[in-house]
Each structure stands twice: as structure tokens, then as C-alpha cells.
Amino acid sequence: MDWKPHITVATIVEDNGRFLMVEESKGGRAVLNQPAGHLDPDETLIEAAVRETLEETGWDVEPTSVIGIYLYTAPSNGVTYQRVCFAARALKHHPDYQLDDGILGARWLSRDELLERRDHWRSELIIRCIDDYLAGHRHSLALIRPSL
């Protein structure tokens, strides 16, 4: 078996107890996720987090710290993802930005509102990343080292 985990990034953007979330269409249903996606070639993890957040929400952000690095195997397809989750500050919204295909829109939701929508989570990583953020898990961006 050829095991190749997918490298992904996600961004926690919080404003007064509400979190920037993405509503997207997956498998014919609407699901919620943090702004997240795969690392592109010749891109740093931080650049990927900024790009994915803009493409999925229309928000420019500035990453401020690393919340955690997570390993997750999706029960639906057995694919393993290594997710690097960043905390970021919202800088500017571009309301007319053309969001990625499959994105239904950006939503600001509290943790309680997310818990009420548990059936619509893309994965359990959503609440784990938020809870780690709320617990104060912050690591320096210097943890992310550039390639040689």
C-alpha cells in the first residue's frame, strides 16, 4: 500500500467570539469548515493559509501563530490529512471577490452556533482546532521553517 498523507492548512479567524467559517458543497450537501485547503507547489504553509482564506472567504488575513499540527484520517474515504492550523487576524474583506467553485459563502459563527450545526461539519477537526485556539494554544510562526 502506498500511503501518502495530504498536506493541508487551515485558518482560525476570530472576531468577538465568532469564527470565520466556510460553507461549501461536498457530496451534494452543504458542510462547514474553516478556510482550508491543500498546499500548492512552490508555496509556503503560511502563503497557503493566506491564499486559501482569500479564495474561500474573500478576506485578506495575517497569520499570527500556529495553533497546532493535526493528523486526521477521513472515515469517508480513508485519506489521511496532515493539517497545519494557523490563527490569523482579519485585515480586509473583498465582498465582490469570486470565491472558489463549490464555496457557498463565508459565515461568522460562534462556537455554540457551530455545535448546533454538528451534522454539517466537514470533519471533527473544526471543533478541535477552535477548542485548541480557545485554550490558548499558540506557537510562534518561526516554528514553520522555509525549505533550504
Check if the beta carbon of residue 134 is closer than 8 Å to that of residue 111: yes
- For each of the chain's 148 residues, which pLDDT tens digit applies? 678 889 999 999 999 999 999 999 988 899 999 999 999 998 999 999 999 999 999 999 999 999 999 999 888 788 899 999 999 999 999 999 999 999 999 999 999 999 999 999 988 899 999 999 999 999 999 999 877 5
Question: Which pLDDT does position 77 carry in this prediction?
Answer: 82
Question: Which pLDDT does position 148 carry in this prediction?
Answer: 59
Question: Which pLDDT does position 1 carry in this prediction?
Answer: 62
Closest by alpha carbon to 63, among 94, 91, 33, 100?
91
Question: Which pLDDT does position 75 carry in this prediction?
Answer: 82
* CATH class for the domain made up of 6-143: alpha beta
What are the Cα distances from residue 145, in Å, to 11, 63, 76, 110, 148?
18, 15, 32, 32, 9
What is the secondary structure of the chain as a DSSP string? ----PEEEEEEEEEETTEEEEEEEEETTEEEEE-SEEEPPTT--HHHHHHHHHHHHHSEEEEEEEEEEEEEEE-TTT--EEEEEEEEEEEEEE-TT--PPTTEEEEEEEEHHHHHHTGGGBS-THHHHHHHHHHTT--B-GGGSPPP-
- Model pTM? 0.92
Question: Which pLDDT does position 28 carry in this prediction?
Answer: 85
